[in-house]
């Protein structure tokens, strides 16, 4: 009986504990926000991946996208859409003015849509860079994608007790197809775009709100529970790097290294410059998805072929030319939005721009090489020490010889002091001369005989044993 009485007296305490406000639990909940503004592109897709990674790491309870965009690349928009649809964390969107085209597709994937009174959503027709509609092949895929995204939100029971789509797939399709007519909603010949009030009426908006504070309140979050996704220092640097003129400068340096390597076969410095400039060019582009792995692979193949040509295979021929073409081709392809050599749907203007950047860089590199060419020819120049052959000798061992004197040296013998591939240096009677061989490659230390003169260089062959 005493045990029952003790339990009885503890009941009020249990009741009081149950009546305590649940704000302490609510305070632990978190909302992460990030922005999709301006054009939807690879940066947007990268930001989405980083934001969702942070959301999972911080164990947030919901993600809110703050959107204001006229659209962008379908490929990146579809990647973002898929990421949202597969997310285990609820995702909401706040349309602050515009959610056109790619923005409409992304918005439909979210669990709830909030709009400002002046916002609009729709006009999801696929267009090219010139603003003209793409062929029906692309429109058909876009129509199906928009329908599927709307259907993914499931069905609800309306006021009449009937089960209806939460977001009507036909309305989503009408945002793409101007020929689709929906009575009272979409006119034939016009692509559908909703105002905020129209979107609310047809369940394409869950609430019209004046500001973000109202959205937070509707989602049951206080301002203190909201965290905004911010770029890391490395993200800011890479973003600046990709969107600035620096990639063009890197292509110029890459071409300077390429031409230096051709001018001075056997030197490692130009090859190192090509590798460094190429790496700095591709790494940021690859991180943001602007360059595909296969394009980086083509560049790597070009580097390997060029390395083999300079340091292994005598002369300069098919291997070297193939390496140069692979390097230049990979640079152009990295600047064009193609899918493994599939250029269908790629604007001619984007291909032209990429070619102009690379060809312009080649032109600038040639000018630079002309200006530094004379300095490269003197051993006291810092440029010579950077790009020159490692086996170059001191100034007192080398001097300029008149053309007539070189011609008269036919028949003289000497030794190789810098590998002839086919150009290098030889020593005759203690004097260093530039030389070339028409017969493959002659290693360092080999004895040679002068057989002629051509373009400021002695032409030599390997001396035959007596």
Domain for residue 441, yes or no?
yes
| Mean of pLDDT over the chain | 80
The residue out of 171, 204, 228 marking a domain boundary is: 228
pLDDT tens figures, 144-178: 999 999 999 998 887 878 888 999 999 999 999 99
* CATH number of the domain that residue 427 is part of: 2.40.50.140
Domain identity same for 61 and 199: yes
Both 223 and 250 in one domain: the answer is no
- 379 and 451 in one domain? no
Task: Give the range of the structural domain holding residue 458, as residue numbers without chain letter.
Answer: 393-462
Distance of alpha carbon 358 from alpha carbon 336, whole angstroms: 12
Give ∠ CA 380-384-389 in degrees, rounded to 5. 115
The answer on 280 and 184 residing in a single domain is: no
**Cβ–Cβ contacts within 10 Å for residue 352, how many?**
11
Report pLDDT digits (tens) over 111-148: 999 999 999 999 998 887 666 778 888 889 999 999 99
The domain boundary residue, chosen from 353, 385, 417: 385
* Total structural domains within the chain: 3
Which two structure tokens, joined as six digits, stand for 152? 């993914």
Same domain, 178 and 289: no
List, for residues 24-80, the tens digit of each pLDDT value.
334 458 999 999 988 898 888 888 999 999 999 999 999 999 999 999 888 889 999
Residues 76 and 159 in one domain: yes
Q: Which two tokens stand for residue 23?
A: 């704000």
Q: What CATH number is attached to the domain comprising 78?
A: 3.90.226.10
In a domain, 6, yes or no: no
- The residues, any chain, with a CB within 8 Å of residue 262's CB and separated by 6 or more, are 316, 320
pTM, full prediction: 0.64
DSSP secondary structure code for residue 390 in this structure: T
Which residue, 144, 83, 155, 149, is CA-closest to 121? 149
- Claim to verify: residue 197 and residue 246 sit in the same structural domain: no
Mean pLDDT, to the nearest integer, of 233-239? 72
**Model confidence at 289: pLDDT above 50:** yes
Same domain, 374 and 409: no
- 49 and 84 share one domain: yes
The Cβ of residue 223 has, within 10 Å, a number of other Cβ atoms equal to 10
Across 11-19, average pLDDT: 46
One domain, residues 88 and 203: yes
């Amino acid at each position: 009986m005493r045990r029952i009485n003790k339990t009885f007296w503890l009941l009020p305490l249990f009741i009081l504990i149950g009546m305590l406000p649940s704000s302490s639990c609510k305070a632990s909940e978190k909302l992460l926000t990030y922005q999709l503004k301006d054009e939807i592109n690879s940066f947007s897709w990268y930001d989405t991946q980083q934001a969702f990674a942070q959301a999972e790491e911080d164990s947030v309870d919901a993600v809110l996208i703050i959107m204001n965009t006229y659209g962008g690349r379908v490929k990146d928009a579809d990647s973002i859409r898929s990421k949202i649809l597969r997310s285990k964390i609820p995702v909401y969107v706040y349309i602050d003015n515009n959610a056109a085209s790619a923005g409409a597709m992304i918005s439909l994937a979210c669990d709830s849509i909030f709009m400002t009174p002046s916002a609009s959503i729709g006009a999801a027709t696929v267009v090219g860079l010139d603003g003209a509609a793409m062929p029906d092949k692309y429109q058909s895929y876009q129509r199906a994608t928009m329908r599927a995204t709307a259907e993914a939100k499931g069905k609800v029971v309306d006021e009449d007790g009937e089960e209806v789509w939460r977001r009507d797939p036909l309305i989503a399709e009408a945002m793409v197809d101007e020929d689709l007519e929906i009575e009272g909603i979409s006119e034939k010949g016009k692509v559908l775009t909703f105002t905020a009030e129209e979107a609310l009426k047809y369940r394409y908006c869950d609430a019209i709100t004046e500001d973000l504070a109202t959205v937070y309140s509707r989602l049951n979050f206080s301002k203190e529970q909201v965290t905004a996704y911010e770029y890391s220092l490395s993200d800011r640097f890479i973003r600046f790097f990709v969107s600035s003129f620096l990639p063009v400068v890197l292509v110029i340096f890459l071409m300077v290294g390429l031409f230096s390597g051709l001018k001075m076969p056997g030197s490692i410095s130009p090859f190192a410059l090509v590798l460094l400039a190429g790496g700095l060019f591709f790494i940021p582009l690859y991180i943001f998805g602007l360059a595909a792995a296969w394009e980086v692979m083509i560049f790597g193949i070009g580097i390997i072929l060029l390395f083999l040509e300079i340091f292994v295979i005598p002369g300069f021929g098919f291997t070297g030319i193939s390496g140069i073409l692979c390097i230049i081709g990979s640079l152009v392809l990295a600047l064009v939005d193609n899918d493994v050599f599939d250029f269908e749907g790629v604007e001619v203007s984007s291909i032209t721009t990429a070619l102009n950047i690379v060809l312009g860089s080649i032109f600038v590199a040639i000018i630079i090489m002309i200006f530094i060419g004379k300095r490269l020819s003197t051993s006291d120049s810092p440029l010579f020490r950077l790009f020159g052959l490692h086996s170059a000798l001191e100034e007192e061992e080398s001097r300029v010889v008149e053309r007539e004197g070189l011609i008269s040296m036919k028949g003289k013998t000497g030794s190789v002091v810098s590998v002839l591939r086919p150009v290098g240096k030889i020593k005759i009677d203690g004097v260093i001369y530039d030389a070339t061989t028409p017969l493959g490659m002659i290693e360092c230390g080999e004895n040679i005989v002068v057989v002629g003169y051509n373009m400021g260089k002695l032409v030599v062959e390997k001396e035959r044993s007596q």
